[in-house]
Amino acid sequence: MRSLLYLVAIIVIGSSCSTIKSTSAPTTSPTSHAEKKASSPAFLENITIKPVNGKETVEAAPLKKESSTGSGSTGDKASIEYVSPTLLKYAILMNAPVEELNNEKLITFIDEWYGTKYRLGGDDKNGVDCSAFVQSFMLSLYGLAVPRTSREQYTESRRIKKANLSEGDLVFFHTRGKSKSVSHVGVYLRNNKFIHASSSGGVMISDLDEEYFRQRYVASGRYKE
């Protein structure tokens, strides 16, 4: 009888362990995976920020490509591009696709100066005014020496139409009350965006269609060929 009870106990315990092991095993479902994926913050289409080795790295999924059979995509892990947060920042500020910002020298220069405070008569990263910033921009990126003041830069540049602006062209404004003479200058980037040393916010990127600049726009000028 004791042997029989011992046998029954072994069977019951064995059955219980099997059940516990089965029910306690971690399970994943397509729904939970999708919810987790959806929780990643997306700043631009197909771009998310993920922690990698303790740092935030921006991951951009590649565009779908047609396979040799006419269907499918190159979705393998090896084809995923990793975009720096700095590049993403300026893609957003310039309203441009990340893959189009391929001028590393330009992005590096902008990032080094971005946020530098405004100082009338200043010409370095301790403080800079609009025309001195333009001087540094043109010399560093295009090897062009331009005059020191915004008015001189306006006078000596070649007039171009606003619709024909391209990277490196100058945009001029009048910012002193009723006076229509040029008193502020910036450098055009792309997509209506220009970079300048603002007296209110330092070196920053603004839009030509902002009401303040739209009302005070004077002309555009070109130095580079």
For residue 225, the model assigns a pLDDT of 76
Is 104-222 a CATH 3.90.1720.10 domain? yes
pLDDT at 178: 84
Helix ranges (H only) for 145-197 are 150-156
Q: Convert the pLDDT of each residue in 38-97 to its tens digit.
A: 333 334 445 544 555 555 455 554 444 444 444 444 444 444 467 789 999 999 999 999
What's the pTM value of the predicted model, to 2 decimals? 0.67
- Structural contact between residues 197 and 116, judged by C-beta atoms closer than 8 angstroms: yes
Judge residue 161's burial from the number of C-beta atoms within 10 Å of its C-beta, 0-12 exposed, 13-18 middle, 19 or more buried: exposed
Quick one: which of 160, 136, 164 has its CA closest to 148? 136
Active centre residues (catalytic): 130, 184, 196
Looking at residue 38, what is its pLDDT? 38
* pLDDT at 22 exceeding the cut of 90: no
Q: Does the pLDDT value for residue 10 go beyond 70?
A: no
Q: What is the pLDDT of residue 53?
A: 55
Percentage of residues in the chain having pLDDT higher than 70: 64
Mean pLDDT value across residues 21-37:
37
pLDDT digits 0-9 by tens, 207-225: 999 999 999 999 999 998 7
List of long-range contacts for 160-167, beta carbons under 8 Å, 24+ apart: 160/220, 160/221, 160/222, 161/220, 162/208, 162/217, 162/220, 164/220, 165/220, 167/103, 167/106
Q: pLDDT band for 5, please (50, 70, 90 cuts).
A: very low
Residue type for 52, please? V
In order of 44, 169, 170, 218, 225, the CA distances from 161 in angstroms are 31, 11, 11, 11, 15
At 221, which amino acid appears?
A: G
12-41: average pLDDT: 36
- Whether residue 132 is predicted with pLDDT greater than 80 in this model: the reply is yes
What residue spans define the domains of the chain? 37-83, 104-222
For residues 150-178, give the mean pLDDT: 96
